[in-house]
Amino acid sequence: MHRRHLLRAAACAAASLFATAAAAQERLTIGTEGAYPPFNNLTAAGELVGFDIDIAKALCARMTVECDFVAVDWEGLIPALQAGKIDVIAASLTITEERRKHVLFTRKYYATPLAVVARREVAIASTEATALAGRSLGVQGSTWQADYAAGTFGEAGALLKPYPSQTEAMLDLSNGRLDAVLSDKIQLIDWMKTDGAGCCTMIGDVAGTEAEAGIAVRLEDVALRDRLQSALDAILAEGTYDDIRKRYFDFDIYGG
């Protein structure tokens, strides 16, 4: 009888330790850039805020997982993920075939075309590549936007200027050190409502450039990707996604 009690106590202790270890594993570190408002940005107090952050928090809540958020320079996000410094990227990362070689994506959580904004005093008539010939065009480096700009606008004679962050590109545009900027339309619409209102004008969409942003994990983390995807499906279906969207945008950003 005494032996059975000891065995039962040992089994209970082992189960408790296993449960504690499992709970400890249910904590994810989510990396974002912190320099791409309104999707992700660092406040003066050092808090990460934005649409990406709120969506990621909703996914964590749906999965009942504790999540920590860290800001990582744009070019360092995928290396940090691969090195195990973060577990998830939630940073408006565009889904491309090249990136699929390095990370595993969920399905999209929003979609947007590229667009061009320019200084009012600069005569740019359209977003056709030749319309920007000889003009300085800012773009965030190491992005698919930069690749597109090089292969389209650069080939047609635009003077491309890459920046470490979109925020820096927008600052140079507002200060007159650039003629125009190429970025995601949604990001530019938000900027035009605030800092860009006094200096610049929206030239328009770049035809045929709609792209999708996804949440990314390591290639081997299939189970985590699937859980994130299920959580995304759930917040879309139950209305949580749209509640978050309305905090930032008065128009649809998910698309069909």
- Per-residue pLDDT band at 8 (split at 50, 70, 90): low
**pLDDT at residue 26 in the model:** 86
- The domain locations on the chain are 2-111+212-248, 114-205
CATH number for the 114-205 domain, one of 3.40.190.10, 3.30.450.20, 3.40.50.740, 3.30.70.1710? Answer: 3.40.190.10
Check pLDDT > 70 for residue 6. Answer: no
pLDDT band at 186 (very low <50, low <70, confident <90, very high): very high
202 pLDDT more than 60: yes
- Structure confidence by residue, pLDDT tens digits, 139-156: 999 999 999 999 999 999
Q: What percent of the chain has pLDDT over 90?
A: 89
pLDDT level of residue 24 (50, 70, 90 thresholds): low
pTM for the model stands at: 0.88
Return the CATH superfamily for domain 2-111+212-248. Periplasmic binding protein-like II (3.40.190.10)
3-class secondary structure for the chain?
CHHHHHHHHHHHHHHHHHHHHHHHHCEEEEEECCEECCCEEECCCCCEECHHHHHHHHHHHHHCCEEEEEECCHHHHHHHHHCCCCCEEEEEEECCHHHHCCEEEEEEEEEECEEEEEECCCCCCCCCHHHHCCCEEEEECCCHHHHHHHHHHHCCCCEEEEECCHHHHHHHHHCCCCCEEEEEHHHHHHHHHCHHHHCEEEEEECCCCCEEEEEEEECCCHHHHHHHHHHHHHHHHHCHHHHHHHHHCCCCCCCC
Average per-residue pLDDT for the chain: 92
